[in-house]
Amino acid sequence: MKILLCVIGVCILLVVLVLIFNSGGKSDRLEPSVGTSEKPEAPEGKKKKDPKSILVPIEPTHRCECRRCKEWREYRRKPWLKPRKDDYVKGCSSHLMEWHQVVSKKDGHVLEGPGQRFIKPGVICDICQKDFAKVSRKLWQEKKEVLHSWTCYQCIWEDPDRYVRYRDPNSTKPGQMEKRHAVNHGIDVCSVCAEQCPDQIRTFTELGPEGKLLHPGHPGDHMHAHKDKQSLVREMRDIILKEGL
């Protein structure tokens, strides 16, 4: 009889302990609140760097030490000294004509440039329309001078001397070929051409290849605003053609 009573007592004790532990666990458990089923926003990852903007530092033995090169190295260290013009210039989302050294001061070989622009596949000056390698070689051999470039790889501009034909689906004459200016991406002006056109290159660096700002209410407009006014590229090409360079 004593043994039976002991067994019943132990069972009752175990049941009480189980009930205590269960009630304690429920009170500690966090219940999901109403209206918080949305997933938390994931942290923003690192922004990808545009490969066209990557500029490998020039070794001291190859580096030009002219006044303008020194200024641009300072601008790169402190970009607020010469900020980019976001949504300011027609045809460029973030305009800034940058001053780049094209060849080595030591032996005249062509350097990489931003995003290896000067060697892969190579650059043609958009004014004299000659290959940078050819222009730099002549300048180095004749004067032992280093070629530089005014470059903006983001500019989108209409070439005043090149045209493409296309079919306009909205044309009143279906099937008829239309003619428009070819659109170029990126602009490069060699320092030889820039020296011959100081007034134009000054405006060029401020307002881009077409010398125009974005018009209010028409952001991103790439159509001609004033067809009677030639572009800065056209003006510079005329000067270089007249000089016979």
pLDDT in tens, 218-243: 444 444 344 445 689 999 999 998 87
- Residue 111 or 173, more confident: 111
Residues 197 and 128 sit within 8 Å (Cβ to Cβ) = no
Any domain includes 205: yes
* Whether residue 30 has pLDDT greater than 50: no
Alpha-helical segments (H) within the chain: 2-28, 67-77, 132-143, 191-196, 198-207, 232-243
Residue 138: predicted pLDDT: 93
Residue 77 in any domain: the answer is yes
| Spatial separation of the C-alpha atoms in residues 39 and 70, rounded to whole Å | 50
Residue 233: what residue type?
V
Q: Which of 14-23, 28-37, 71-80, 165-174 has the lowest mean pLDDT?
A: 28-37
The answer to whether 158 touches 182, Cβ cutoff 8 Å, is yes
Question: Is position 237 within any domain?
Answer: no
Sign of CA dihedral 149, 151, 156, 157: negative
What range defines the domain where residue 100 resides?
A: 56-156+185-215
Hey, which of 18-27, 146-155, 206-215, 219-228 has the most confident mean pLDDT? 146-155
Model-level pTM?
0.70
Hey, which residues does 103 pair with through a beta bridge? Answer: 110
Across 102-122, average pLDDT = 91
Q: Residue 33: pLDDT band by 50, 70, 90 thresholds?
A: low
End-to-end distance of the chain based on CA atoms, in angstroms?
Answer: 123
Position 90, amino acid: K
Q: What SS3 class is residue 153?
A: strand
For residue 180, the cross-strand partners are: 164
CB-based burial label for 123 (10 Å; 0-12, 13-18, 19+): buried
Structural domain contains residue 11: no
The domain tally of the chain equals: 1
For residue 219, CA distances in Å to 83, 87, 93, 230 come to: 20, 8, 10, 21
Q: Which stretch of 52-56, 74-78, 112-116, 143-147 has the lowest confidence by average pLDDT?
A: 52-56
Decide if 105 contacts 98 (C-beta within 8 A). Answer: no
CA 163 from chain centre, in angstroms, equals: 26
Query: Lowest-pLDDT range, 28-32, 121-125, 168-172?
Result: 28-32
Asked if the structure places residue 61 within a domain, the reply is yes
Mean pLDDT value across residues 127-145: 93
| Residue reference for tokens 């000659």 | 130
pLDDT of amino acid 213 = 83
Q: Is residue 105 part of a domain?
A: yes
* pLDDT reported for residue 228: 41
User: In this structure, is residue 178 part of a structural domain?
Assistant: no
Q: Can you state the angle between helices 198-207 and 232-243, rounded to 10 degrees?
A: 160
Flag whether 70 is in a domain. yes
Mean pLDDT for the chain overall: 81
Residue 63: CB partners within 8 Å, gap ≥ 6? 69, 101, 105
